[in-house]
Each structure stands twice: as structure tokens, then as C-alpha cells.
Structure 1
Amino acid sequence: MAAKVQLAFEDDLALRIGEILRNINSQIQKYLIAKTLISLATGILFAMALSLFGVQFAIIWGILAFLLNFIPNIGSVIATLLPLSIAFLQFDGIATLLWLTLVLVLIQLVIGNFIDPRVIGKSGGNRSFP
């Protein structure tokens, strides 16, 4: 791509455009690495919480939470509701379901509102966050 840019533009402009493209590529890589690590943490915490509560297929739900965390807004909702629906069918008492709901929602809230913005902000993905 750099060779095509150099052919299409004058030397100074081609160098500047190449620098901008490298910067964009670097920012995207940093964002994807940060988002992957955050999603991995979400998946691990979900799997651990679901396992501690005895929900069937806890590891699969954790993997699903990891994958769905890449979908903004709705992914975390789906990742929370799917294992809760299984827990609703699995457990007789409402207390266990309420505690599990609280734990999963807390995981999502802490990661989504505190950890994610800070990590993404520090990775250069969002310049508006201090």
C-alpha cells in the first residue's frame, strides 16, 4: 500500500500519508488488544461466577461472554441473559437466581463502566477519557 501511495502523491505528501496510515494501524491494533483482554477478563469472571453457583455449562457461557463482549451495548445484555435463563430452569429457589443476577450484573457494570473506558482510553482508542 505504501508503494501505491508514493506513486499517487508527491514525496512529502506520500510520506505524511504513510505516517498517518501507520498511526491508524497502530491505534487499531492497540484497541483490539485492549478489547480482547477486557473481553477475556469478562469471560473468565463469568465462567468462574457461573461455576461457583453451579450453573450448567459455565465454561461455555464464559466463552460466549468473551465473544459477545465485542458487540457494543447489546452483547453484554445477551451474555448475561442467556446463562440466567438456564439458571432459572436449573434452580428451584429464587434466591440463588437473584444472587447470580446481582453478581453477573456487577461484573458487567464494573468492567463496562470503569475498567473498559480506562483501558481503552490508555490504549489510545478514546482520547476523550483522562
Structure 2
Amino acid sequence: MTGIAKTGPPLWMRLALWVSTARWHPPRGLSDADKAILFAAARDGWWFRRASPRWDAVWRPYACALARVRVVVLPGKGFGMSTYERMALSWLRLAQAGLRTGTTDPLTLQSAERKRRQSLAPVWLNNAAGENGRRGGRR
């Protein structure tokens, strides 16, 4: 079979997505062309969900499997990202699902990925390096 199947997610996946994610709303300032792409995809049966940092880490390895059943999990709030960084990461994930073409600013995307990683464990990540950059703990 070629292309992406037009079936929806199975019941167990729908329930898991419903429990662990929230409905995604397009951000303000989105261009009309981008809105048209998203609305056309939604009419074709695509689901757009947003996830907190921890649930994003759970769903991210399954991005290809989710795309096969027409689901894209996008970053929600709580990552410490600016709107532009969150949009850059969202556009990357939409492009990986085959819904959008084009590129995003690599520096913005790099900053978004760094903040995504930092949001997973900010307490131990920020305390891992000492004042002068040396690691604490046993030597």
C-alpha cells in the first residue's frame, strides 16, 4: 500500500490521546495559506493534538505510527518556548507528517529543541553543572 491510510486511530489510541493530550488550536498570527493547509487536513480526517513536555516525550517516538492514522502531536505550553519557537517545532512535525512543505529557521528550531529537552527535567539538568561548569558529585 502506498501513501497514508485513510483510517482513524484505533480505540485504544484515541483513548490514550484523549487522556494525555489536548486539542490543538492554531496560534494567532498564522498566515491564511497555513490556515488553509490545516483546515483542509482537518477536513480530511487529521487530528491535531498538543501535549505537555512529558507526554510529548512519550508520543514523539511514535510520530510515524501516528501519521499513518492521521494524528500529529504538537508541542503545547509548558516548554518555556516563545510562540515562534513553538511554531517552528510544530511546522517541523507537520512537515514530517507530510502536511507542509518548506523549511523553518534552523536557529529557532535549535533553540526550540534545546528548550524541549530542558523542560523534561529542569531541576536536575540545571543543577548537573556546577558554578564553573564542573559536574558535582563524586570525583
TM-score by length of 1: 0.31
Tell me which structure has the larger Cα radius of gyration.
1
TM-score by length of 2: 0.29
Greater share of helix: 1
Where relative contact order (Cα < 8 A, 6+ residues apart) is larger, the structure is 1
